Amino acid sequence: MKIFDSIGRMRIPKQKFDEQESKKEPKIIRECYCPNGHILMNENTKFNKHNAITILLKRKKEKGLLFLSPICGDKNRVTMDINIISQEIINFHCPECNIELGSYAPCHCGGNLKILFCTPELEYNHFLGICNREGCSNAVVKKGEELYSCLDIN
């Protein structure tokens, strides 16, 4: 391709990567499991036609459910039977077996990134980490050797 057209104007190629970025599909978490292998995806609760991630929340004598959007970067959520207080650190449990979800690492806010496994084999190299402090939007996905912030991969 010539640099200049027939009347002397510079030709600039179209930027195909810009078109691809605008059409980029969001990352969807399609599978989540507790440490005992129970499925944490809820077919009865949907966010944009995708099954919600369901977590049992416990506080002293109170408990309730948290339904999270499985779309990375989407911070929509719904709680049932429990009101969450701003900045509160909440215990995450499996809604089926009540086991407390483990921690991957401390979060910058003082909470902990709780592990939700993304494969039935419960691999520590493929999981979703969600902060358990109300108001903190930190969430990460580990896939193999890569660790992604959910805010960066939407």
Tens digits of residue pLDDT in 71-93: 988 888 889 999 888 999 999 99
Query: CA separation (Å) from 78 to 83, 91, 100?
Result: 10, 16, 20
Q: Is 45 helix (H, G, I), strand (E, B) or coil?
A: strand
> Mean pLDDT across the stretch 33-49?
94
CB-CB contact of 50 with 32 (8 Å): no
Task: Say what the pLDDT of residue 99 is.
Answer: 97
CA pair distance 78, 124, nearest whole angstrom: 27
Domains of the chain, residue spans: 26-149
Q: Label residue 150 by pLDDT band (50, 70, 90).
A: confident
Q: Which two tokens stand for residue 40?
A: 């944490």
C-alpha angle 106-136-117 in degrees, rounded to nearest 5: 60
